[in-house]
């Protein structure tokens, strides 16, 4: 590739160099299609002064696509072999952009701070089994992130972007909506990855907006409780959370929510209002 992007031959070569056997537990499926990389970068709507946080750069497929478009990329990679190889890969293919990259060898779920300039956008082909917790952790940790574009399993993309009342609406939808406006931003087939995963993927875009009034942890506790027993009406589902079915009913009514409603019908603002109601003393 003239632009330094990694195609199938380059991915194979880099993997051989490391004697890499991609692991499922770390969600190691690497993009080897330059058109998909270009599409992701285009969809991310980046500005030249953006500082991008990339989680799981792997062999560098997406990193090489991001570097020409932005001021800086901070890449957090858990696998030490991949973290170590990345600067060399970038130097070999785009030495002019190597100064824009910071690689951090760490677990994205455990980072508490990042070196370098504060990131403004998250763009990542996320490891699938931890995609939702990673996304939520980073949005909470880094208030400077005002946008995210992530590639996740298609089913997770649907859940993240679901609106109240939709069949896929659940805990990830409400928690993501705490941080911003979420929408699906396209489908990605399995053939563009090596190794090929056995599910399709989807892009999800989030634009940050101020959270609803209320306390995040209290709201999330109400969300977890409401969806913990999906089949039940909220009066029953929230009984343990509130102390008793009667207390749940009282708090639901105080928040202007029908006790027979189901969690699937409530927006994040409804949950925040519910969590803010006075606890009922037994």
Place of tokens 């009984």: 239
For position 74 contacting ligand SAM by CB under 6 A, the verdict is no
Closest CA relative to residue 135, chosen from 153, 117, 118? 153
Contact between residue 15 and residue 59 where contact means Cβ atoms under 8 Å apart: yes
Q: Which CB atom, from 20 or from 272, has the smaller least distance to ligand SAM?
A: 20
Tell me the β-bridge partners of 122: 53, 148
Check residue 199 for interaction with ligand SAM (CB under 6 A): no
How far apart are the C-alpha atoms of 253 and 256, rounded to whole Å?
A: 5
Residue from 33, 50, 77, 249 in contact with ligand SAM (CB under 6 A): 77
**DSSP reduced 3-state for 70:** coil
Q: Which is nearer to ligand SAM, 150 or 161 (by Cβ)?
A: 150
Among 108, 156, 160, 222, binds ligand SAM (CB under 6 A): 108
Q: Any bridge partners for residue 187, and if so which?
A: 202
Tokens matching residue 188: 């990605």
Q: Which of 4, 58, 65, 170 binds ligand SAM (CB under 6 A)?
A: 58
Stretch that binds ligand SAM, among 42-50, 102-110, 170-178, 231-239 (CB under 6 A): 102-110
Among 56, 170, 172, 233, binds ligand SAM (CB under 6 A): 56
Which stretch, 27-35, 168-176, 237-245, 264-272, contacts ligand SAM (CB under 6 A)? 27-35
What are the backbone dihedrals phi and psi of residue 118, each rounded to the nearest 5 degrees, phi first?
-65, 135
- Spatial neighbors of 9 by CB under 8 A, at least 6 apart, are none
- In whole angstroms, give the CA distance from residue 106 to residue 129: 17
221 binds ligand SAM (CB under 6 A): no
Q: Is 29 part of any known ligand binding site? A: yes
Regarding 125 and contact with ligand SAM (CB under 6 A), the answer is: yes
At 101, list the tokens: 């990259």
Using CB under 6 A, which of 20, 44, 46, 82 touches ligand SAM?
82
Residues that bind ligand SAM (CB under 6 A): 26-31, 55-59, 61-62, 76-79, 82, 107-109, 125, 127, 130
């Amino acid at each position: 590739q003239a632009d330094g992007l990694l195609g199938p031959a380059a991915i194979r070569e880099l993997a051989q160099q490391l004697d890499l056997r991609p692991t499922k537990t770390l969600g190691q499926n690497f993009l080897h299609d330059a058109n998909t990389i270009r599409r992701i970068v285009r969809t991310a709507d980046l500005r030249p002064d953006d500082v991008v946080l990339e989680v799981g750069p792997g062999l560098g497929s997406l990193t090489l696509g991001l570097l020409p478009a932005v001021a800086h990329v901070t890449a957090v990679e858990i696998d030490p072999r991949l973290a170590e190889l990345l600067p060399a890969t970038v130097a070999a293919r785009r030495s002019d952009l190597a100064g824009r990259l910071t690689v951090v060898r760490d677990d994205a779920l455990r980072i508490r701070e990042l070196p370098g300039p504060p990131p403004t956008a998250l763009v990542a082909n996320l490891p699938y089994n931890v995609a939702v917790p990673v996304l939520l952790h980073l949005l909470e940790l880094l208030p400077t992130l005002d946008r995210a574009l992530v590639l996740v399993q298609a089913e997770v993309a649907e859940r993240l972007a679901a609106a109240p009342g939709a069949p896929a609406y659940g805990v990830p939808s409400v928690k993501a909506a705490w941080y911003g406006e979420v929408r699906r931003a396209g489908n990605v087939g399995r053939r563009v990855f090596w190794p090929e995963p056995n599910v399709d993927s989807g892009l999800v875009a989030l634009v940050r907006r101020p959270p609803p009034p209320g306390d995040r942890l209290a709201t999330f506790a109400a969300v977890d409780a409401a969806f913990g027993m999906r089949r039940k009406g909220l009066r029953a589902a929230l009984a343990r959370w509130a102390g008793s079915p009667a207390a749940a009913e009282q708090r639901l009514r105080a928040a202007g929510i029908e006790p027979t409603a189901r969690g699937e019908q409530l927006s994040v603002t409804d949950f925040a209002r519910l969590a803010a109601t006075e606890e009922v003393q037994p």
